[in-house]
Each structure stands twice: as C-alpha cells, then as structure tokens.
Amino acid sequence: MNLTFIQAPKESGSLDAEGKIVYRKWEGSSSHVLIYLHGVQSHSEWLIESGKALSKRGLTVYAPDRRGSGLSGFPKGEIESYQTYLDDLRLFVDFVRTQEPNKKIHFLGLCWGARLCVPLCLEEERGIESLILLSPGLIPRVDYSIFEKIKIAFAYLTRSKQKFPLPLKDSFFTNTPSYLKFIQNDSLGLRHVPASFLVETLKLNRLACRCLSAVKQPILLLLAGKDQIVDTEKTSAFFKKQSQLKTDIEIFPDWHHTLEFEEEASKLYDTIFNWIEEKRG
C-alpha cells in the first residue's frame, strides 16, 4: 500500500492534497518524537498551540490529519474498514521514523485518536516507546438514541450514503470563549458522517479495549473532571482494574474534554514532558 504524506503550509494557501495525508510538524530539541492523533471532529489545526508548546519543551511533534478529516485529500468521513485507518497510521509511523532516525517515538492520542494508538502499541516492529492518552474515547458518555441507532443500522446494511450528525455539541469540548469561537467557526471539522464510519468506529473501539490489557509500554492517562464526552470516572476505573498495565493517571478536576483548550494548559504540557523524561529519558 502506497500513501503520500505532505506537510501543511505554515501559512494559509493552496494545497494539492488529493489522495494524500496532510500533517503538521513542530521541531523540538530532544530525542523524543510525539505522533499526535486528533479526535473525531477535530483535525491538526486544533493542535497548533499544543504542538508549539510541546516543541518549546523539547519534543518534536507530528500531527497527521486522519484520512477524510482536516486537510487530507479524501472524502469526508468515508471509510469501508477501520483497518484502513490502522494501515495509514502504520505507514505514518514508518514515515516519521525515516524523518527522525534514532529518536524515540511516542503516541499521543486525543479522544477518538486513542483508539488507533492502542492496537499499534502491540506491534513490536513499530517500536513505540510510550502511550499518552488525553480524554480517550474508549468509554464515551455521548451516544445515539435507539431510534437513531436503527436508522444508522439500516443505512449501513443498505450501504446508504446518508450522513448522520455526530452526537456532539461545541460546548462539550471547552468553555474557554476563544476556543469555543474557534470550534464554532471551524470549516474543516467533521460534523456529519456516513453509517459506515460509525459502525467501523464501534469495531475499532472494541479492538482497542481488547488490546489494552496487552500493552507493555508505560501509559499516561490524562482526564478531565468536567468531561461531557468521555466518562472520566468509568475510564479511570477501567484502567485501574487492569493492574498489569503501567499506568499513571492524572485528573484535572475543573477542566473540560479538550484539555489543550484550557487557559492553564501549560500544566498539561509540563506533565507530558516531565513524564516522558522520567519514563523514557
């Protein structure tokens, strides 16, 4: 499988991304590289401030736009199998390794992106050093009604192209006014998806939950106390129950789902950098 990766321009402008995966990069000075995977509605533009902040702390950051999201040149949200997303990430890890030889590669998964990180941690050839999860969407609070699920199932079985709104509100992500306005004005955000995306997401989530118990890398789990998208209490308990995992958990009591959009997000970046230095420095 061949796939081309192209870097997003630093300034807005034309970009020939058809059939390509677009990524953003922030250069750091240390031997550590983060592959930063965005959530379901978001894309790498949401991660610009955090990418800059992490790079200032010495971490090199690569943030790809998932196939069908952001600037990547594929139909929005359309997917036949979740395996395609995993294959894309495998190729991206290999690409990053060619760009950053002899450096240590870590996964940083935000919400939906966490589902992709977990299975690939089990593949020794990927050589992933650690797993950092921000509000991982493994145990969500949001869901569809029974009636909506029936409609989605029918659309999936009939291979309908009908698209369904994601069960999310902009206010679920943050209550920071500047970032809330950014989300409201975001023209690249994924808000409606076909039934195939929702069914394949469910399959991927089940795979990630099954694979989690076999992860051998250190895990840093960062959660928000006021998360309206992810069930923080159940997620924390789920990880604690699996005592064989090497998991460090921190909950920010008054923060909302998108930790990077908090006014005191510098605490988040310090936590990530210091943890990496401690575990893999």
Question: Each residue of 92-137: pLDDT tens digit?
Answer: 999 999 999 999 999 999 999 999 999 999 999 899 999 999 999 9
Residue 111, pLDDT score: 98
Task: Please count the residues of the chain.
Answer: 281
Tens of pLDDT, residues 212-268: 999 999 999 999 999 999 999 999 999 999 999 999 999 999 999 999 999 999 999
Please state the rounded mean pLDDT for residues 18-44.
Answer: 97
Tens of pLDDT, residues 133-182: 999 999 999 999 999 999 999 999 999 999 999 999 999 999 999 999 99
The more confidently predicted of residues 26 and 243 is: 26
Contact (Cβ atoms closer than 8 angstroms) between residue 143 and residue 176:
no
Count of beta carbons in the 10 Å neighbourhood of residue 231: 18
What span, in angstroms and rounded, lies between the C-alpha atoms of 249 and 2? 38
Residue 59, pLDDT score: 98
Tens of pLDDT, residues 61-91: 999 999 999 999 999 999 999 999 999 999 9
DSSP notation for the chain: ---EEEEPPSSS-----BTEEEEEEE--SSSEEEEEE--SS--GGGGHHHHHHHHHTT-EEEEEPPTTSTTSBS-TT--S-HHHHHHHHHHHHHHHHHHSTT-EEEEEEETTHHHHHHHHHT-GGG-EEEEEEES-TTSBS----HHHHHHHHHHHHTT---EEE-S--HHHH---HHHHHHHHT-SS---EEEHHHHHHHHHHHHHHHHHHTT--S-EEEEEETT-SSB-HHHHHHHHHH-TTS-EEEEEETT--S-GGGSTTTHHHHHHHHHHHHHHH-
* pLDDT of 2 strictly over 90: no
Mean pLDDT of the chain: 96
* pLDDT of 14 strictly over 90: no
Q: Which fold has domain 4-280?
A: Rossmann fold (3.40.50)
Query: For the chain, what are the domain ranges?
Result: 4-280
Residue 12, pLDDT score: 64
Residue 16, pLDDT score: 83
